[in-house]
Amino acid sequence: MTSSSPSTGLRWGILGPGGIARAFASDLRTAGLDLVAVGSRSADSAGAFAADFEVAHAHGSYDALVSDPDVDIVYIATPHPFHAEQAILALEHGKHVLVEKPFTLTGVEAARVRDVAAERGLLAMEAMWTRYLPHMARIREIVASGALGDIRIVMADHTQKISTDPAHRLNALELGGGALLDLGIYPISFAWDILGEPLAITASARLGETGADSEVATIMSHASGALSTSISGSRSAGPNTASIIGTEARIDIASVWYNATSFRLIAPDGRTLEEYASAITGRGMQFQALAAERLVAAGLTDSDVLPIDETVAIMSTLDEIRELIGVRYPGEE
């Protein structure tokens, strides 16, 4: 499957021209979508990004970006402590928003963004790009078909070796640092996708020198009786694989499971019943953008793949995990 679907006409602006924004912009171009503007706190940074991606409008402030009449939807790619304020700013200027995960810092903030979007009749969507990848769409089809039987276990890890510098964003509590929100959001959202809301959560963590979590392990029980487990860590690189294990078959997703990758549907006796290999152009971030465009074109203001109420609830799950492991951000009550 490729990303050659035509644009449905939205004009994109990018707020925050960092590394993830560059990957997204590249995939927008790959998909033929209309990227027209970029905004940064620095005019030089916006200008450099605009030159690299042939973007017509470079704005030296976020206010200028969200005020641009040529922009219909804003992709917010700043660190997550700023997501809520910036998403609301864009919504109040009549722009739809696609907000990098984690959607906000807390569940309360996520609910505020949801409510403003609802009041304005605009799309607010979490950029959990993994959910929109073709291999994940096929996995959901298999799960819905009942081919796995009674799903008993979902497990996934997201572990990377990242800087130990206390000033690095991932280690700075004032920037929402920690493995859970940056990395653990992927397996936690995956468990929600397959099993729904957890009924009970246990968690354990190792905290780094700054008090930010460097490793987090969770076990969650779900309404069906199934268990999900996750490991997230920022100090060591693990296999980054995932499995959905049922009584009649299991799905093993290859590394790196949250990227466009392959999976196998495997019978209890070890036979491979189906093998899927992703074949896409680019990194795969365009699929969430294409989904957003289709929703707006259809007059819809909520994602069917990741509804905004689920995004809010997942942020509340992360709040609960942080409570269990003793991580609080500056300014939290």
Catalytic positions, written as ranges: 101
Question: In one letter, which amino acid is 128?
Answer: M
CB-based contact 201:188 (threshold 8 Å): no
- H helices of the chain, in order, are 19-30, 43-53, 62-67, 83-92, 107-120, 134-145, 179, 185-195, 286-297, 308-325
CB-based contact 240:159 (threshold 8 Å): yes
**Torsion angle (degrees, nearest 10) of CA 211, 213, 214, 218:** 160
CB-based contacts of 27: which residues, under 8 Å, 6+ apart?
Answer: 3, 282, 283, 284, 285, 286, 289
175 Cα distance to chain centroid: 17
Could you tell me which residues are beta bridge partners of residue 74? 13, 97
Strands 227-233 and 151-159: parallel
Separation CA 181–CA 176 (nearest Å): 8
